[in-house]
């Protein structure tokens, strides 16, 4: 389990805009750990979990983006039935709201990295540790 930084930008929903933002982060040597991109009609909300927040933020600002920063919790779950339900239940029991989340698995049946944006990151971490998540 890791405390991570997430940057959020809003891009025009047009060809090349996401690539431009991702390339700017790549050029300054920042590793992309996870991302979520949710499109509206004209705009695209892009959430980037990155290795170095200040460098990524500066690169995105050079493109004219305002990047907001949030603390998120990265949790490794086994990619098996019921694991995400167990984590959500542990957070619910601790009265920690999942504001939003996104996830990916490296390979089916292995581990998945789940990014949680929580109402209380510290309380969420305690609840997940108690429920034996790593």
Report the pLDDT value the prediction gives residue 118, as an integer from 0 to 100.
95
90: how many CB neighbours lie within 10 A of its CB? 19
Instruction: Give the whole-angstrom CA distance, residue 61 versus residue 53.
Output: 12
In degrees and rounded to multiples of 5, residue 60 shows phi and psi of -70, -35
pLDDT in tens, 47-93: 999 988 899 999 999 999 999 999 999 999 988 889 999 999 999 99
d(CA 22, CA 3): 22
The CATH topology of domain 2-70 is VC0802-like (3.30.2130)
Place of tokens 């959500």: 88
- How far is Cα 60 from Cα 41, in angstroms, rounded to an integer? 22
Classify domain 72-130 at the CATH class level. Answer: alpha beta
State the span(s) of the chain assigned CATH 3.30.2130.10. Answer: 2-70
Residue 83 has what pLDDT? 92
Where are the domain boundaries for CATH 3.30.70.260 in the chain? Answer: 72-130
């Amino acid at each position: 389990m890791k405390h991570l930084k997430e940057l959020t930008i809003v891009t025009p929903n047009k060809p090349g805009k996401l690539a431009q933002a991702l390339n700017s982060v790549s050029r300054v040597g920042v590793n992309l750990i996870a991302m979520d991109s949710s499109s509206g009609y004209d705009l695209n909300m892009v959430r980037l979990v990155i290795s170095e927040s200040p460098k990524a933020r500066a690169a995105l600002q050079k493109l004219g983006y305002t990047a907001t920063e949030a603390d998120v919790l990265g949790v490794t779950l086994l990619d098996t039935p019921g694991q995400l339900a167990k984590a959500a239940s542990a957070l619910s029991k601790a009265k920690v709201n999942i504001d939003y989340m996104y996830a990916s698995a490296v390979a089916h049946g292995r581990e998945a990295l789940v990014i949680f944006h929580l109402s209380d990151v510290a309380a969420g971490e305690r609840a997940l540790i108690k429920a034996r998540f790593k």
